[in-house]
Chains A and B, each alone.
Chain A
């Protein structure tokens, strides 16, 4: 027989004599009153504040999370704005750079054109000058070379070539011959 069985048997034997511990007695009413009082105090003074505190804390946490989300959204928005501004600034810079390049190109082209114009003008002037000099040289040639040649020829031939009309005719003819000779030379060539 195990210890527990023996103990129970003994309990049953004792219970017969005195009182059965399964049957409640007067203690029941005191226990009832005790629990009733405990229940009243807990339900009235302790559980409601605990419930309220829990609800308050939940609200607080919820609110904090909401604020957190809000702050996060704001931060994201400002970041996006910042990025957009940076992108704008980059575009602006690129635009300005391109504009400056274009302007530079235009200026260079203009300057080149100007320089070319200037050069052309200088060349033109030089040509004009040369032509004028040449004409002047030709004129002086006609007058001086003719006179020299006439004088020289007059001395050699002894014939007076002082008459200006004749002199001029001789010079003209001479010059014509002179001009014709290289052309004839070039033509024969």
Chain B
């Protein structure tokens, strides 16, 4: 156990391979794995597209096409449910986010870890730079969408709802959204990386089982996190477009009405009771 503890000191958490790109100091490893992940997504996409355009009358989809179609269909459905239609900007954004985050998350699982601290392909999503960038794209798009839907005044008025006193909270909420989006994704994948580093220093007899078990679980986490990011983005779009509590207001109205009816039904029974 002490040996294991000693070994943990060698794990460098958050250690990045630094480099200079266009005169800016950057995390070269993150950028390389981003390029790999992005290329993979594009290759998958173009292969699927190639299958599509090969024979337009052949309606039987290929497997890779099915993979894309499942995601595209699900996201389209989600967008339609929340926004009322398949928005030509929101749906592709959510699809891109999902695929890119998914492949990025899975980069961590490639067995390219040379030793406990050097991983050739760390998940780019385990670097806040990427997650902040994704969250920034998502939230700026959400704000622009909200302003377009409701007008400048209409959009900013919703910061005063339901009560003007909640203005600071509403502003805080808008600012927290991108940060939570970014850090949730980062934290999950980063933690996965730490787990892999810890497993790597395990004794040989425990390593394969633990490695397999964690990587299988980590794959699932990768899917879930990609899904959550895309879904939350769609939901933020829906919230920005629908206005604050429009839908909720109706629901409450119905609920109150129903409560009132229930009371009305109960009242005649309640009234005779004192007579007994």
Contacts and interface: CB of A to CB of B under 8 A. Distances in A.
Interface stretch (A48-56, A80-88, A138-146): A48-56
Nearest to B4: A3
A158 interface: no
Interface in A13-53: 14-15, 21-32, 34-39, 41-43, 45-47, 49-51, 53
Contacts of B49: 45-46, 49-50
B198 A7 contact: yes
A61 interface: yes
Contact of B52 (A11, A39, A49, A61): A49
Contact of A49 (B16, B53, B197): B53
B48 A32 contact: no
A42 B96 contact: yes
Interface in B91-113: 91-93, 95-96, 99-100
B36 to A, nearest CB: 11
A98 interface: no
Given A11-B14, A25-B129, A50-B72, A38 B9 contact: no
B27 A42 contact: no
B76 A27 contact: no
B42 interface: yes
A4 to B, nearest CB: 7
Given A27-B129, A53-B52, A34 B72 contact: no
Contacts of A54: 69, 72-73
Given A21-B14, A23-B128, A42 B26 contact: no
B78 interface: no
Given A14-B14, A42-B95, A34 B34 contact: yes
Interface string B26-62: 1100110011001001100110110011001001010
Given A3-B198, A21-B14, A26 B25 contact: yes
Nearest to A28: B129
Interface in A140-175: none
A41 B42 CA distance: 8
A10 interface: yes
A36 B137 contact: yes
A42 B46 CA distance: 9
Contact of B92 (A24, A27, A31, A43): A43
B65 interface: yes
Given A32-B133, A34-B34, A42-B45, A7 B194 contact: yes
B11 interface: yes
Given A7-B197, A42-B96, A56-B59, 18 more contacts: A7-B194, A14-B12, A15-B14, A22-B183, A25-B26, A30-B129, A31-B134, A32-B133, A34-B34, A34-B35, A35-B134, A35-B137, A39-B92, A41-B45, A45-B46, A49-B49, A53-B69, A54-B73
The 4 A-B pairs of least Cβ separation, nearest first, read A11-B13, A26-B24, A43-B92, A21-B14
24 contacts: A6-B5, A6-B8, A7-B13, A7-B194, A10-B13, A21-B127, A22-B128, A25-B25, A25-B27, A26-B21, A26-B25, A27-B27, A28-B129, A30-B34, A31-B129, A34-B34, A35-B130, A39-B137, A45-B46, A46-B42, A47-B72, A50-B48, A50-B49, A54-B73
